[in-house]
Every structure is written in C-alpha cells, then in structure tokens.
C-alpha cells in the first residue's frame, strides 16, 4: 500500500476527553506500522500525543497510543496526521485516515452513500509508518474540476492532469471543491483521472458535490463521504496545519432554498477543539470551497460565521485561506472591519479553476476548450511552497510556460505622433491592489502602472470573436465578462520613431517575486 510523508506537529500528551452522554465510545490505538500491512502486530508500539476526532471532539492518544472517543449513529472517526510518519494511500492515491461509523448507513438517496457499518469494532486502530519530518515543501492546488459529462472529465484529464502526471518534488495535491458538476456518478471518473497525478490527493467538498435530496445540511455530504471520507478534517505537514471544511449550508437556513456559505455549530466546535493542539508559531491553512468574501455574488457568505471562525484564529499570527467557486482568481485581505482580530490582515487566495470558464471557448490543438475565465485569467492551477510558517504562491497557466504570468493588451498599430485613447492594460493573473507593476518601452525608463477595476480587454476580444462570427464556431461561447481584480493601465507612446517597438512589464508581487512579460506594437505614419 502506498504511503506519504506526514507532517511535523508538536506532540502534546493529554488526558482523554470523554463525553459521558454519548451513545457509545470508540476505542483504539495509533501505532507505528513497521511492516506497512495496516495490522497492529505485537512488536509495533503505540504513538503518544496523536489527535483523533469524530468530526467535533478531538482527543489525544495516551502514552501507549490509546484513545477513547464518543460517537453517535453518524460519525467518521479519523486520525489527524502528525509529524514524522507516513499515511497509507489506497489504489487511487487517496489518503486513508478514517473509519466510518454509520450503523444504519446513509439514508436512501438518489446517489448512494455509505453502506451500514454495524456495531463498533472492539478496536479502531490507525497505523502510521515512521518517516523523516519535513520543513520545506510544495503542494499542488486545483480549483473546480467540475465536469458535467464524461467528455468534460476527459477535458480535465487531457487539459490539466496530463500536464502534471508523474510530477516530482510535490508533497501532495488538493482540489478545492466542485470535483464534479451535480452528477455524482462522475466521482469515480474524477478519481480515476486525479490518481494519475501520482501523488497523495486530498479533496474539499463543493456546492456541486452535494446530495440535493436531503432536508438537513449534515446529510448533504453522504455520497461525498462514501468516495472521499470526512468532509471536515485536518492534517499537518511541516510547520503547517491544514483544516479542510465543507462551508456550504444546504438548504439555505434563511429560506430553505439553494445554499449559503457558512458553518454549522459542530464544524466550528471541531475547529476550536482541533486548534487546542496546534502550536501558535505554525501556519494555519484553511481550505474550503466558497470564499469568505462577498465578492461578485453579493450576500454569498454568513458574516457571523466568518467572524466566529476569525475569533478562533485570534491567537494564530500565521494564517492563510484557500477557496475556489468563483471561476475567477482573486486575492482578498480581511482586516478589523471584516472581523479579523489581528493587525496583519488575513489573506485568502481565491484560486483560478482547472475547468476555467466551465469548459467554454475555442478548442485548442489538443481538442480541449481554451476556457479563459471571465476576468481574463486562463485556466490553470497553483503551486504553494511552504518554508516553515511562510508561504509563496505561483499560478501555472495550463499549456503555457511557467513564466507566463500576465497578458499584456496593446494595439497592434498606432499613428505616429497622434494622441490616442487606447492604453496598455496588463492582466497580472496572481495580482492584487497590494502589488506594483511597472512598464517601459524599448528599454526606456520604468514607469509605474495604475491599478484599475474593469473588464479585461483581451477577454472582451475573445468574446467578440464569437459575437461577430458569420458561422457557428466549434465549442461553446464563453460567459459574459466580470470585472477583474488584477488589471493595471498605462499610456502608450506614439512619439517614437515609426516601426516596431517593445513593451516590457514587470510585476512585484506580495511574496517578493518578480514576473515579467513583453508585447510589441508598431508606430506607422499616415
């Protein structure tokens, strides 16, 4: 069975926390699985100070590696991965860190959930394999694969997965929800595709991954649980503690229609209990599907729930949130006006999607939709590199070199010495208002570009090709544009000599990285 290296975390010995009002108690041992067979042998000793949870309570193993944990009739018991150990993977590279306890199974639904598990076993054991701890590592992050058909699963595989298949020096991957598009029978084709990356792969539940034929939010993840395990869990790697949460409330508690971003009380209790055993100098990374900000969707998230989450993080100076959902790319920062309690704002990276603009647009040479997002961000994925509690992010555009980080819009030709209203507009895909962009022409003096909020003109050009075409084009028309949060503008020079000229743009991002791009234009005489 495959394994992957687990995360360093401070092992803290503690007494069991047992809720005597629970219907029953799960017991077991977390142990060193020296031969990797996932069966506890007599010579394999227990591991002390490892966190175990039922999705709400969190307890630590004692000096013998034993734990006791209250459970009811609908629990998934899981180990919170500590430092210095590997975790087994199944044949699909999905980490196996949980045990279903659903004596009656999931309720009858359109898409099957977990089968009845019967009585609790006498011992629910978790085997971890000793390994060297790590401090510096890189993870791979996917937003919204979201296929609605098997053909779109194939687009996802050929357009994204194939590009990173067999990737080296990446610790694990994470998909940030909307693994599929409502058709939950596509979970298995998605799994078949994602396993080909060849690294351990974690998943987040999205609003298109839910069971819609339920009356309680706690039951909306039954089919997801069958395929991926708990929708709320945590793990550690290096000095980073990851907390994965299902932040879709369904049905919407306001009117019973649709969904709303937020958290149930038991989910916030899990976060509270989990953080008790996380050192304050570690980076806490929260991953969920719907962004905490309102963004383009108006009242898309429960402000009270966001503030409750922020209150739980008040004593953690190193934090990051990851989300997807919008099919755009954004950097959001939360300060005290939004309920964040610390002086340094909380950063949320709203990741661009692997499906782009829902597999729309022209087909490329591989027959995969170009699918540029409506803010001008090309479809792609992100690498997040961690160094202790610090991190850096770099976006990778699918089918493009790694240094393609911006699109520069400029006219092909302008009139010599004539005033023009056209401007140089740069879409720096990973940018935010906190970044600085500079432009120069023909190795001249660098000038600072002005940050703007508007539609990306390059994206408008793509859209106009569809609207002005005389014949039907293969593929599907892209979505209407949305304002981009990562555009900069500068005037274009017309007073240079007639002929070709080169525009250079450099971007200084929030992580101290410098990115560059070039574009040419021609000055002509009338």
pLDDT tens by residue, 277-335? 999 999 999 999 999 987 666 789 999 999 999 999 999 999 999 999 999 999 999 99
Residues 138, 392: Cα–Cα separation, whole Å: 9
Beta-sheet strand order (sheet of 240-244): 233-237, 240-244, 283-287, 319-323, 346-350, 330-334
Residue 470 inside a domain? The answer is: yes
**In the predicted model, is pLDDT for residue 208 greater than 80?**
yes
Which three-class secondary structure state does DSSP give residue 110?
A: coil
Q: According to the model, what pLDDT value does residue 439 have?
A: 98
User: Is 501 part of any domain?
Assistant: yes
Contact 340, 314 (CB under 8 A): no
In the chain, the largest separation of any two C-alpha atoms, in whole Å, equals 90
* pLDDT cut 90: percent of the chain above it: 90
Say if residues 222 and 231 touch (Cβ distance below 8 Å): no
Query: 28-42, 179-193, 367-381, 492-506 — which is least confidently predicted?
Result: 28-42
pLDDT score of 84:
82
Q: How confident is the model at residue 83 (pLDDT cuts 50, 70, 90)?
A: confident
pTM (two decimals): 0.94
pLDDT for 226 beyond 70 = yes
| DSSP string for 344-405 | SPEEEEEPPPSSTTTT-B-B-TTS-B----TTSPPSEEEEEEEETTEEEEEEEETTS-TT--
354 occurs within a structural domain: no
Taking the C-alpha atoms of residue 146 and residue 177, their distance in angstroms, rounded to an integer, is 8
Tens-digit pLDDT profile for residues 128-161? 988 888 999 999 999 999 999 999 999 999 999 9
Q: Which pLDDT belongs to residue 1?
A: 43
Q: What's the average model confidence in pLDDT over 115-125?
A: 95
Q: Burial level of 200, CB count in 10 A (0-12/13-18/19+)?
A: buried
pLDDT at 397: 98
| Among the ranges given (14-23, 400-409, 455-464), the one the predictor scored with the smallest mean pLDDT | 14-23
For residue 445, give the CATH number of its domain.
2.60.40.10
Evaluate whether residue 431 is within a structural domain: yes
Domain assignment present for residue 207? The answer is: no
Q: What is the C-alpha R_g of the chain?
A: 25
Over residues 378-397, mean pLDDT: 98
Write down the pLDDT at residue 131. Answer: 83
How many structural domains comprise the chain? Answer: 1
* pLDDT band (50, 70, 90) for residue 85: confident
pLDDT tens readout for residues 515-525: 999 999 999 99
Q: Say yes or no to pLDDT of 21 above 80.
A: no
**Could you give the CA distance from residue 429 to residue 463 in angstroms, rounded to a whole number?**
19
Domain of 447 in residue numbering reads as 406-524
pLDDT (0 to 100) of residue 8: 39
| Helix 303-312, helix 265-275: angle, nearest 10 | 20
**Cβ 285 vs Cβ 250: under 8 Å:** no
The pLDDT assigned to 6 comes to: 40
Residue 515 lies in a domain: yes
Query: Could you tell me what percent of the chain has a pLDDT over 70?
Result: 95
Would you give the distance in Å from CA 74 to the centre of its chain? 27
Pick the residue with more confidence: 8 or 190?
190
Does residue 49 belong to any structural domain of this protein? no
Asked if residue 458 lies in contact with residue 406, where contact means CB atoms within 8 angstroms, the answer is: no
Considering the domain boundaries, does residue 512 fall inside one?
yes
Beta bridge partners of 515: 507
Q: What is the mean pLDDT of residues 208-223?
A: 97
């Amino acid at each position: 069975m495959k394994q992957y290296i687990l995360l360093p975390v401070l092992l803290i010995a503690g007494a069991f926390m047992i809720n005597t009002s629970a219907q029953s108690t799960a017991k077991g041992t977390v142990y060193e699985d020296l031969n990797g067979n996932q069966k506890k042998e007599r010579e394999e000793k227990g591991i002390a100070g490892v966190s175990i949870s039922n999705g709400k309570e969190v307890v630590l193993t004692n000096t013998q590696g034993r734990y006791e944990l209250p459970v009811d009739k609908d629990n998934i018991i899981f180990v919170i991965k500590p430092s210095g150990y590997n975790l087994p993977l199944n044949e699909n590279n999905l980490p196996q860190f949980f045990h279903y306890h659903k004596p009656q199974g999931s309720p009858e639904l359109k898409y099957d959930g977990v089968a009845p598990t019967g009585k609790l076993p006498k011992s629910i054991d978790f085997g971890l394999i000793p390994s060297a701890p790590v401090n510096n590592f890189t993870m791979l992050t996917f937003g919204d694969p979201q296929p609605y058909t098997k053909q779109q699963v194939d687009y996802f595989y050929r357009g994204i997965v194939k590009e990173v298949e067999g990737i080296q020096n990446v610790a694990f991957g994470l998909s940030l929800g909307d693994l599929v598009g409502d058709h939950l029978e596509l979970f298995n084709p998605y799994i078949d595709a994602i396993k080909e990356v060849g690294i351990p792969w974690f998943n987040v539940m999205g609003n298109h991954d839910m069971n819609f034929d339920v009356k309680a939010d706690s039951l909306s993840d039954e089919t997801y649980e069958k395929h991926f395990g708990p929708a709320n869990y945590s793990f550690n790697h290096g000095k980073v503690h990851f907390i994965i949460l299902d932040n879709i409330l369904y049905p919407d508690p306001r009117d019973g229609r649709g969904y709303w971003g937020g958290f149930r009380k038991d989910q916030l209790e899990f976060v509270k209990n989990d953080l008790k055993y996380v050192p304050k100098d570690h980076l806490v990374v929260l991953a969920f599907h719907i962004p905490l900000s309102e963004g383009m969707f108006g009242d898309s998230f429960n402000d009270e729930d966001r503030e409750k989450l922020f209150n739980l993080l008040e004593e953690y100076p190193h934090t990051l949130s990851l989300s997807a959902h919008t099919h755009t790319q954004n950097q959001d920062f939360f300060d005290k006006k939004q309920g964040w309690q610390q002086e340094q704002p909380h950063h949320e990276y709203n990741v661009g999607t692997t499906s782009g603009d829902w597999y729309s647009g022209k087909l490329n040479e591989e027959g995969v939709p170009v699918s540029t997002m409506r803010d001008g961000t090309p479809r792609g994925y992100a690498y997040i590199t961690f160094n202790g509690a610090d991190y850096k992010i770099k976006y990778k555009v699918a089918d493009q070199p790694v240094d393609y980080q911006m699109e520069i819009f400029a006219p092909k030709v302008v009139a010599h010495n004539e005033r023009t209203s056209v401007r140089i507009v740069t879409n720096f895909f990973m940018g935010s208002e906190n970044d600085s962009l500079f432009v120069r022409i023909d190795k001249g003096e660098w000038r600072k570009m002005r940050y703007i909020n508007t539609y990306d003109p390059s994206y408008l050009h793509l859209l106009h090709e569809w609207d002005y075409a005389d014949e039907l084009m293969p593929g599907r028309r892209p979505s209407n544009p949305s304002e981009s949060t990562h555009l900069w503008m500068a005037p274009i020079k017309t007073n240079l000599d007639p002929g070709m000229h080169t525009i250079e743009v450099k971007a200084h991002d929030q992580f101290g990285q410098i990115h560059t791009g070039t574009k040419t234009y021609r000055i002509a005489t009338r």
